[in-house]
């Protein structure tokens, strides 16, 4: 994905792609990187824009976009 191309199984020619990845977790990935439980290179690629929301269990909340 980094080169904006993927190789399909059984095909000889790469296919051009344009994608955005949205990932979510309930874990502290910065801490996981420090502990060696999560890859640092993947963390820095995913952590371009960080959005933090409070847990839904804390009460009734409405998010407007």
User: Hey, how many other C-beta atoms are within 10 angstroms of the C-beta on 2?
Assistant: 5
* DSSP alpha helix (H) spans, 1-54: 29-34, 40-46
pLDDT of 24 > 90? The answer is no
pLDDT at residue number 14: 92
pLDDT at residue number 61: 62
| Digit-coded pLDDT (tens) for 42-54 | 998 888 888 877 7
Contact indicator for 46, 33 with CB cutoff of 8 Å? no
Confidence of residue 35 (pLDDT cuts 50, 70, 90): very high
């Amino acid at each position: 994905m980094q080169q904006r191309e993927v190789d399909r199984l059984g095909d000889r020619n790469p296919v051009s792609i344009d994608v955005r990845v949205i990932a979510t977790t309930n874990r502290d990935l910065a801490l996981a990187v420090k502990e060696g439980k999560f890859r640092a290179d993947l963390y820095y690629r995913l952590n371009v824009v960080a959005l933090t929301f409070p847990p839904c269990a804390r009460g009734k909340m409405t998010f407007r976009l």
